[in-house]
Amino acid sequence: MRSFVCVFLMSAALLSGGCAGEKADYEKKVTELDPLFKEKLDKKSAFLKQLAEQKSLYLEKKQKVDEQIGLLKAKQYELGRQYALSIDKIKQQFDPERRQLRNELSELELKYRGLADELSNVNKGIREIGKLVGKKDDLSLSQEEFVTWNNRLEDLTRKKEQLESESANLRGDIELTKMKIKVMKI
């Protein structure tokens, strides 16, 4: 029992750390005191060898898996790049339709601004002629001049109604074209 305690204490000291040289010294002393303990040390060496082999096998397999992961990541990156290129090509095929709609919208807006300017001029003419006709007595307009100005006022009023109708239609076309552009976004 005494030798067992001695061996136990030496083993504890050995396992608790120290340099490799001290460990070899302890093993030597333990085996001198208990020659049967050599068998256990041999088993330990065999276990350590198995652990080292398993670690080596693991690291070898891990390295192969890491290489495969690297290859797969590179392949994934390339697939993503090819996908982005193909999407861009498809979108470019669709660009003429979207560009056509944007051009139509620009033309409609330009036409609408022209109508708005024309309507503004017509409204200005209606106001001026309305004032003139309202002051017919002060200006001493002849009946013929009054009829001419009144006819001009009626023409401008009809023109105003026509322009307002065209303007409303154009606003509808502009809104429809804007909706088409929104729908055509990819």
Average of per-residue pLDDT values in the chain: 86
Q: What dihedral do alpha carbons 7, 9, 12, 17 form, nearest 10°? A: -110
Domain edges within the chain: 16-183
Query: What pLDDT sits at residue 6?
Result: 46
- Angle CA 104–172–181, to nearest 5: 45
Residue 156's contacts (CB-CB under 8 Å, 6 or more residues apart) are 122, 125, 126, 129
Run means of pLDDT, 10 residues per run, the chain, 186 residues: 48 53 85 87 92 96 96 96 93 88 96 96 91 74 81 92 95 95 86
Per-residue pLDDT tens digits for 134-173: 776 677 777 888 788 889 989 999 999 999 999 999 999 9
Residue 126's contacts (CB-CB under 8 Å, 6 or more residues apart) are 153, 156, 157, 160
Q: How far is CA 138 from the centre of its chain?
A: 72
**pTM recorded for the entire structure:** 0.55
